[in-house]
């Protein structure tokens, strides 16, 4: 599984990287702009990300804006959509609904809980646990 972790908090980025690296290659981005460059490069090389873990609250471009751009890039590239999991401290209903409307696959509240994350990834068929 090829994964991109996008979070402006270095501790959360490192934690997600540590959890997910046992399942395959993990790239990280400290902001949404870096993430968009990584997604574009992956699509252009024909090796898109299987999973993108995306925070919402970031400077410049937030995670919801990045989600929308990523989905457009994937559709234009005619490559199957990656699984996008929003992992964020924003749990208000309006934000959750906006993320779902923007085509995220799952929404997980911080603080990051390894068991919950792995359970969600298993539900979408990216990993098997047990």
pTM for the full predicted model: 0.93
Closest to 54 measured CA to CA, from 91, 96, 107: 107
Which ranges constitute the DSSP H helices of the chain?
10-20, 32-44, 63-77, 93-101, 114-123
Closest to 57 measured CA to CA, from 103, 15, 99: 99
pLDDT at res. 50: 96
Domains, the chain, with CATH or none: 3-121 (3.40.50.2300)
| Contact (Cβ atoms closer than 8 angstroms) between residue 3 and residue 24 | yes
**pLDDT, one tens digit for every residue, the chain (130 residues):** 999 999 999 999 999 999 999 999 999 999 999 999 999 999 999 999 999 999 998 888 899 999 999 999 999 998 888 999 999 888 888 988 888 888 888 889 999 999 999 998 998 888 987 6
pLDDT at res. 130: 62
């Amino acid at each position: 599984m090829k994964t991109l972790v996008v979070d402006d908090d270095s501790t959360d980025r490192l934690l997600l990287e540590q959890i997910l690296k046992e399942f395959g290659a993990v790239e990280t981005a400290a902001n949404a702009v870096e993430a968009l460059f990584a997604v574009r490069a992956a699509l252009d090389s024909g090796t898109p990300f299987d999973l993108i873990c995306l925070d919402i609250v970031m400077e410049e471009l937030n995670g919801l804006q990045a989600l929308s751009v990523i989905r457009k890039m994937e559709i234009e590239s005619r490559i199957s959509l990656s699984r996008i999991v929003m992992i964020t401290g924003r749990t208000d209903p309006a934000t959750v609904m906006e993320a779902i409307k923007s085509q995220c696959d799952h929404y997980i509240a911080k603080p990051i809980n390894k068991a919950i994350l792995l359970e969600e990834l298993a539900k979408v068929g990216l990993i098997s646990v047990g």
